[in-house]
Amino acid sequence: MEELEPIQVTAYVPSSAPVPESEVIVERGSTPQQLGPKLNRSAGDVVRFLLLQGEMVTATQALTDDMIELFAAEIGARVRLVDPGEEQEAALRARYFGEAGGDKDEDEGSLRPRPPVITVMGHVDHGKTQLLDRIRSANVVAGEAGGITQHIGAYQTEWEGHLLTFIDTPGHEAFTAMRARGASITDIVILVVAADDGVMPQTVEAINHARAAGAPIVVALNKIDRDDADPNRVMQQLSEHGLVPEEWGGDTITVQISALQGLGIEDLLEQIVVLAEVLELRANPEADARGVVLEANLDVGRGPVATVIVQHGTLRVGDPIVAGPSWGRVKAMINDRGDQVKEAAPSTPVQVLGLSEPPIAGDELRVTDDLSIARNVGEAREQRLRYASFAQSQAASSGAPGARLEDLFQQISRGETASLNIVLKADVQGSLEAVTESLRKLEREEVKIAFVHRAVGGISESDVDLAAASGATIIGFNVRPDRRARELADQRSVEIRTYEIIYKLIEDIQAAMVGMLAPEFEEIVTGDAEVREVFRVPRVGAIAGCYVQNGVITRGSKVRFLRDGAVIWKGAVSSLRRFKDDVREVQAGFECGIGLTDFQDLHQGDVIETYEEREIPRT
């Protein structure tokens, strides 16, 4: 038999073409045909080098990150890997916003004083929102589920001729990213610490966020009216974290207050105004507007709505804008008091209407020269995000079959790796992001979480269809399914779980994942009625003239008040009438008058949903 000659593999001989001196942007998944020319090499050079490393690739085959970096290191080039579409976005930003995306027409002579942006941070239940209540004389705490702030709110108030912009950030640990965004645009941080509780884990976290943003910290020692308050102990704890009070020889402004009784509020505001003057905060009101999206949601009546703080320039109605993948023209702006405004100067918080979709909280909002530029930049970003999410979807679909929440324990008991597929809906982008990150932290070796779909807005029939097709559980945070979605979920055996406090959501999912489900209360919807008219009765208040659409409305029933699919209030039916008669219940198909306990904000089209809680044992 004739002996075959061994194949001779020669060493890789680098090309003599010069290597690019600057850093080269390379998209992940590039082929040798795409990578070679960027580094002044041919596709054959890339294929030949990888072949010698034991990697069999073709000129049109996507390369891994390691392959790209290995070839770049071999020829001495510097590369920066980016997601697909990001390179195009970077080119568009350089073209439209300048090489680094910086401000145009920003010179020293055009700068004018602007109000300070003040972020209120601190641990859960230390009194952040109550402090803002005192400052702006509004009751926000009553509208928060469980007294926990779960959105970022921005407000502007005036004190002795000085405009002050405040950002209230959530205290729960799941909203770390939201607090980080608050610190990144702030000038001054008010760190609220309860004098009877002291420094807590999220207090330390808030300190780190403020330091990372380079913002000065003013400590507000709250609840000094409590009998067990010990300000000296708290100041000692703060000193251990580098915040030494001025009275102890340090440089941290510390003010003792009681938000409940209004003590020390004037002193705190005076210190903030003085500090703002020292910082000499300025911006150019004539430049192209630039700001940051604090929050965004999809309103059924108004479309995508973004809460924005303007940082530079003046934002005006009619301006073409782009924020992340979202683009459009400013149709209307609403300030924190609910009034429409024509323009927003630097440091002004406004709700912006007119975007193509809700942007992601933390996105930069910019004014462009015309609408086509905004569209080009927004679509480039959307393409990049779509490519990035496609890879995650592929990984989720190729993993273990999805399990519903109640089936997880059986799969874990059999020693199988379960995949919990979730359709997640929330009322705003910030909450959606926070819940997503919290659930991802719950993943274990035997249980993986795959997000089939994530979006803002109420739970719809399409969500139920998607959950049924993928074997997913629908989780709603501060949103509810409409009647048709609920009926379809019953027909297709799709599980819908709704939550209003993030603690309960995390605890429930975590309990399910470790197989220790405690008995729970199942909510049974007993009826729903649509508000057709609102009557104002002297010494009684607002009465909702309703048409009962489904089930039975019973006097004394627990009530969930819905507007555009979102829960805005919970309470009970205090009075129920048919014409002039007090009645115990009203069946579907009849009209009635419903009085609610301590709730007066009624509008046509709102839905009153009654329910009862039934305790069921977990198996």
Kindly state whether residues 422 and 562 are assigned to the same domain. no
| E strand map for 486-538 | 496-499, 520-537
Question: Where a domain ends, among 461, 490, 518?
Answer: 518
Write down the pLDDT at residue 568.
87
Q: What angle do CA 394, 485, 589 make, to 5 degrees?
A: 175
Q: Helices 502-513 and 429-440: crossing angle, nearest 10°?
A: 30
Q: In which region does residue 414 sit, left (phi positive, over 0), alpha (psi from -120 to 50) or beta (all else)? A: alpha
Residue 174: phi, psi to the nearest 5?
-70, -20
In DSSP notation, 15-41 reads: -SSPPPSSPEEEETT--HHHHHHHTT-
Write down the pLDDT at residue 529.
93
Q: Return the percentage of the chain with pLDDT > 70, whole number.
A: 79
Write down the pLDDT at residue 206.
78
Global pTM reads 0.59
Mean pLDDT of 70-92: 77
Domain around 471: 399-518
Kindly state whether residues 260 and 123 are assigned to the same domain. yes
Mean pLDDT of 585-608: 89
For residues 184 and 503, give the distance between their C-alpha atoms in angstroms, rounded to a whole number.
Answer: 26
Q: What is the CATH number of the domain that holds 530?
A: 2.40.30.10
Kindly state whether residues 120 and 226 are assigned to the same domain. yes
Kindly state whether residues 131 and 195 are assigned to the same domain. yes
In a domain, 109, yes or no: no
Write down the pLDDT at residue 403.
53
Query: Taking Cα atoms as reference points, which of 191, 189, 35, 174 lies closest to residue 122?
Result: 191
In a domain, 344, yes or no: no
Q: Which of 52-56, 144-148, 271-275, 609-613 has the lowest mean pLDDT?
A: 144-148
Kindly state whether residues 154 and 181 are assigned to the same domain. yes
Q: Return the percentage of the chain with pLDDT > 90, whole number.
A: 13
Query: Taking Cα atoms as reference points, which of 573, 618, 563 lies closest to residue 594?
Result: 573
For residues 259 and 20, give the distance between their C-alpha atoms in angstroms, rounded to a whole number.
Answer: 60
The per-residue pLDDT of the chain, averaged, comes to: 79
Give tens-digit pLDDT for 119-177. Answer: 888 877 777 778 887 887 644 455 555 544 445 477 888 888 888 888 876 644 444 55
Write down the pLDDT at residue 395.
44
Query: Taking Cα atoms as reference points, which of 57, 71, 66 lies closest to residue 28?
Result: 66
In a domain, 553, yes or no: yes
* 450 or 417, higher pLDDT: 450
Mean pLDDT of 217-224: 90
How far, in whole angstroms, is CA 205 from its chain's centroid?
18
Q: Which of 84-93, 225-234, 468-477 has the lowest mean pLDDT?
A: 84-93
Write down the pLDDT at residue 532.
92
Task: With a cut of 50, say whether residue 398 has pLDDT above it.
Answer: no
Kindly state whether residues 456 and 595 are assigned to the same domain. no
Write down the pLDDT at residue 149.
45
In a domain, 293, yes or no: no
Can you tell me whether residue 117 is helix, strand or coil? Answer: strand
Write down the pLDDT at residue 100.
44
Write down the pLDDT at residue 396.
43
Kindly state whether residues 490 and 588 are assigned to the same domain. no
Q: Which of 16-25, 189-198, 494-503, 587-596 has the lowest mean pLDDT?
A: 16-25
The CA-atom distances, in angstroms, between 587 and each of 362, 490, 531, 556 are 47, 22, 15, 15
Mean pLDDT of 484-488: 86
In DSSP notation, 292-340 reads: EEEEEEEETTTEEEEEEEEEES-EETT-EEEETTEEEEEEEEE-TTS-E
In a domain, 343, yes or no: no
Kindly state whether residues 130 and 192 are assigned to the same domain. yes
Tokens of 546: 């309703």
**Contact present, 526 and 551 (Cβ < 8 Å):** yes
For residues 332 and 344, give the distance between their C-alpha atoms in angstroms, rounded to a whole number.
Answer: 11
How far, in whole angstroms, is CA 70 from its chain's centroid?
37
Mean pLDDT of 182-199: 82
Can you tell me whether residue 113 is helix, strand or coil? Answer: strand
Question: Where a domain ends, among 218, 246, 281?
Answer: 281
Task: With a cut of 80, say whether residue 469 has pLDDT above it.
Answer: no
Can you tell me whether residue 176 is helix, strand or coil? Answer: helix
Kindly state whether residues 195 and 216 are assigned to the same domain. yes
The CA-atom distances, in angstroms, between 400 and each of 166, 448, 510 are 46, 9, 19
Q: Helices 43-52 and 65-75: crossing angle, nearest 10°?
A: 100
Q: What is the CATH number of the domain that holds 450?
A: 3.40.50.10050
Give tens-digit pLDDT for 347-396. Answer: 898 999 999 888 877 788 889 888 888 888 888 777 776 665 555 444 44
Write down the pLDDT at residue 404.
55
Task: With a cut of 70, say whether residue 425 has pLDDT above it.
Answer: yes
Write down the pLDDT at residue 553.
92
In DSSP notation, 341-409 reads: ESEE-TT-EEEEEEESSPPPTTPEEEE-SSHHHHHHHHHHHHHHHHHHHHHHHHHHHTSSPEE-GGGHH
Can you tell me whether residue 480 is helix, strand or coil? Answer: coil
Kindly state whether residues 406 and 512 are assigned to the same domain. yes
Q: What is the CATH number of the domain that holds 263?
A: 3.40.50.300
Kindly state whether residues 198 and 237 are assigned to the same domain. yes
Residue type, position 492, single letter: R
Can you tell me whether residue 612 is helix, strand or coil? Answer: strand
In a domain, 406, yes or no: yes
For residues 559 and 541, give the distance between their C-alpha atoms in angstroms, rounded to a whole number.
Answer: 18
Kindly state whether residues 216 and 270 are assigned to the same domain. yes
Write down the pLDDT at residue 608.
92
Write down the pLDDT at residue 148.
44
**Contact present, 83 and 154 (Cβ < 8 Å):** no
For residues 246 and 187, give the distance between their C-alpha atoms in angstroms, rounded to a whole number.
Answer: 20
**Structural domain count of the chain:** 4
Write down the pLDDT at residue 1.
47
How far, in whole angstroms, is CA 381 from its chain's centroid?
18
For residues 584 and 576, give the distance between their C-alpha atoms in angstroms, rounded to a whole number.
Answer: 7
Question: Where a domain ends, among 472, 489, 518?
Answer: 518
In a domain, 96, yes or no: no
Write down the pLDDT at residue 429.
80
Mean pLDDT of 424-430: 84
Query: Taking Cα atoms as reference points, which of 358, 437, 353 lies closest to residue 178?
Result: 437
In a domain, 91, yes or no: no
For residues 420 and 404, give the distance between their C-alpha atoms in angstroms, rounded to a whole number.
Answer: 6
Task: With a cut of 80, say whether residue 303 has pLDDT above it.
Answer: yes
For residues 488 and 461, give the distance between their C-alpha atoms in angstroms, rounded to a whole number.
Answer: 7
Give tens-digit pLDDT for 325-349. Answer: 899 999 999 888 888 999 999 989 8
Mean pLDDT of 455-474: 82
Mean pLDDT of 240-244: 86
Expressed in angstroms, the distance from the first to the final Cα of the chain is 72
